[in-house]
Structure 1
Amino acid sequence: MTGVKIIPRRSDERGHADHDWLKTFHTFAFANYSDIEHQSFGALRVLNEDRVKAHTGFGTHSHREFEIFSYVVSGELEHSDSMGNTEILPRGALQMTSTGTGISHSEKAHGNQEVHFCQIWAMPRPGEGKGKPAYFTRNFTDGEKLNKFALLVAPSTSSEVSLNREDKGPAPVRSQLRMYAALIEPGATIAHTFSGKARKGYVHVIQKSGYNPKKAGGARLQLIGGQAEEGEVELREGDGGYLLTGADSELKIENTGEQVAEVLLFDLE
């Protein structure tokens, strides 16, 4: 089994903004944040960590030719779109929109508390960017993610997903991307194998302890990729890491801190 090279993406090096109603971080170039060194990675184009103040949100706006999905960390996200979908999404919900030829939607904080969520965009597979828009939601409990990776998103062409909106399991994405989430307790170690050919990945530690544009704190993780150069890296809340994987390589993540860590992992073909 070959190794995984880990290239850290530190939290305080990301783009960030405090608009009062919205506090946000951008892993990749987005909106007013321009960075030629961090444009995208594989199919992954946007990874924003957003906090939206109660009774506010993103008004109705339009998208096309992107796969856009949100993972709710805390609070409730209110979604409405031009396809007639209206939902209140709680913690653990995964909402997927294949924008295709075009949709309009709004995303707001529901109720009297802030909503904290990760907004993710992926590039569609060649020839599928202009398909008919589609919308899916899935819900995942904390138990499903405790000290293990739960598969939240998988390619729509794979046998792992159902295109029935009422079914469970990972949400279908028109992209060569898989997204996993895990809750890792102090002292626990979990692993993910990048089976088959060498490819890319990305890992992100959710900033659960509050909006912090300075040096990362909170939960502490040790990533072990089994490769001498950048094969072992410590990450804190808000930190991430680009992953360059060998064929059939394994990434181990150990919680060496004193807090439960919430982690997103992207397997990019």
Structure 2
Amino acid sequence: MAALTVVPRRSKARGHADLGWLNTYHTFSFADYYDPQFMEFGPLRVLNEDRVKAKTGFGKHPHREYEIFSYILSGELEHRDSLGNVEILKRGDVQFTTAGSGITHSEKNDHPNKTCHFLQIWVKPDFAYLDPGYVTQTFSDANKTNRLLPIVSPYLDTTNAPTDASSTTVLDNTIGVHTDLFTFACTLEPGQSVVHSVQSAHPNRKAKSSGNGARRLYLHVVDQTGAITIVDSNTTLQAGDGAFVTEVKSRQTLELSNPTSEKVEFLLFDMA
């Protein structure tokens, strides 16, 4: 097994802004937070952990090029966009937008008293000027308890595949993304562990890869309770922490365990 390198991204070291209506932490440079050491990681450009107070939210604003998805942890978030989509997102929902050549949207918490807690993630696609698209898919707690549930994977045809649930993706029952990035969600109960097998290169990106099967991973522990230990490096991540994992190759395995007495939720990104 190749020796992996793990560099923790501690929660308190993240960028932070408390605007009253929004309490947000940034893994990468975003808005008024800038650190040249943390600009992006592979195609992963933004990983914000947001808490939006009741009866507030993000007003109508534009996006281009990036693919953006929201992983809802608790509360409710109303989405409206220039494609005509309107829906209220709840725990378990993953809302995915291909901004492509340009869209506008708003994200608001219209609940009378509950805060909405969600992860906002931006991914850079391999192609510019994609057709804008939108899809929402629900992933139940039962399906991601003590297992790594794939929620996002690359389209088999990455050129300009439509963003809808019927399009063919590398992994079944996942939302498609236009780059070599897989996302897994998991809630680990106390004392439980899971093993991740590093993905193989996307079939349409082999010419762009290094040819030696090199991959990279990013692990983000939701800022709630519990902790995750990366067994292979004896590294423990607390709530809100993340970790850059490099020097890994396709089909290499990574064991993750929960050493605490509380359940813990996390996302794992596996990318070229």
TM-score when normalising by structure 1 = 0.89
Name 2:245's counterpart in structure 1.
243
Name 1:232's counterpart in structure 2.
234
Name 1:62's counterpart in structure 2.
62
Tell me, in whole angstroms, the C-alpha distance in 2 between the residues paired with 1:57 and 1:204: 24
Higher mean displacement: 105-114 or 178-187: 105-114
Name 1:211's counterpart in structure 2.
none
CA contact (8 A) 2:199 2:270 kept: no
Name 1:124's counterpart in structure 2.
125
User: Alpha carbons of 1:144 and 1:245: their partners in 2 closer, same or farther (altered >3 Å)?
Assistant: farther
Name 2:228's counterpart in structure 1.
221
CA contact (8 A) 1:222 1:233 kept: yes
Name 2:208's counterpart in structure 1.
none
Report deviation, 1:163: 5.1
Tell me, in whole angstroms, the C-alpha distance in 2 between the residues paired with 1:84 and 1:195: 35
Q: Does 1:170 align with 2:180?
A: no
Tell me, in whole angstroms, the C-alpha distance in 1 between the residues paired with 2:163 and 2:124: 19
3-state DSSP of counterpart to 2:41: coil
User: Alpha carbons of 1:257 and 1:92: their partners in 2 closer, same or farther (altered >3 Å)?
Assistant: same
The residue type equivalent to 1:219 in the other structure is G
Name 1:149's counterpart in structure 2.
148
Report deviation, 1:173: 1.1
Name 1:105's counterpart in structure 2.
105
User: Alpha carbons of 1:166 and 1:88: their partners in 2 closer, same or farther (altered >3 Å)?
Assistant: farther
Q: Report matched runs for 1:255-266 at 5 Å.
A: 255-266=258-269
Report deviation, 1:129: 2.1
3-state DSSP of counterpart to 1:130: coil
TM-score when normalising by structure 2 = 0.88
User: Alpha carbons of 1:162 and 1:261: their partners in 2 closer, same or farther (altered >3 Å)?
Assistant: farther
The residue type equivalent to 1:171 in the other structure is I
User: Alpha carbons of 1:164 and 1:13: their partners in 2 closer, same or farther (altered >3 Å)?
Assistant: closer
The residue type equivalent to 1:47 in the other structure is L
Tell me, in whole angstroms, the C-alpha distance in 2 between the residues paired with 1:165 and 1:58: 26
CA contact (8 A) 2:46 2:122 kept: yes
Output one character per residue of 1:221-249: Cα deviation in whole Å (capped at 9) or x when no partner: 21123xxxxx2211000000001042232
**Fraction of identical pairs, as percent:** 43
User: Alpha carbons of 1:38 and 1:163: their partners in 2 closer, same or farther (altered >3 Å)?
Assistant: closer
Name 1:200's counterpart in structure 2.
216
Tell me, in whole angstroms, the C-alpha distance in 2 between the residues paired with 1:121 and 1:187: 32
CA contact (8 A) 1:96 1:173 kept: no
3-state DSSP of counterpart to 2:237: strand
Tell me, in whole angstroms, the C-alpha distance in 1 between the residues paired with 2:181 and 2:199: 14
User: Alpha carbons of 1:76 and 1:46: their partners in 2 closer, same or farther (altered >3 Å)?
Assistant: same
Report deviation, 1:111: 1.5
Report deviation, 1:166: 6.7
Name 1:212's counterpart in structure 2.
none
Aligned residue pairs total 252
The residue type equivalent to 1:145 in the other structure is K
RMSD: 1.8
Higher relative contact order (CA closer than 8 Å, sequence separation 6+)? 1
User: Alpha carbons of 1:190 and 1:55: their partners in 2 closer, same or farther (altered >3 Å)?
Assistant: same
The residue type equivalent to 2:234 in the other structure is E
CA contact (8 A) 1:156 1:163 kept: no
Report deviation, 1:162: 9.0
Q: Which of these residues, 252, 255, 260, is aligned with residue 252 of structure 1?
A: 255
Q: Does 1:185 align with 2:189?
A: yes
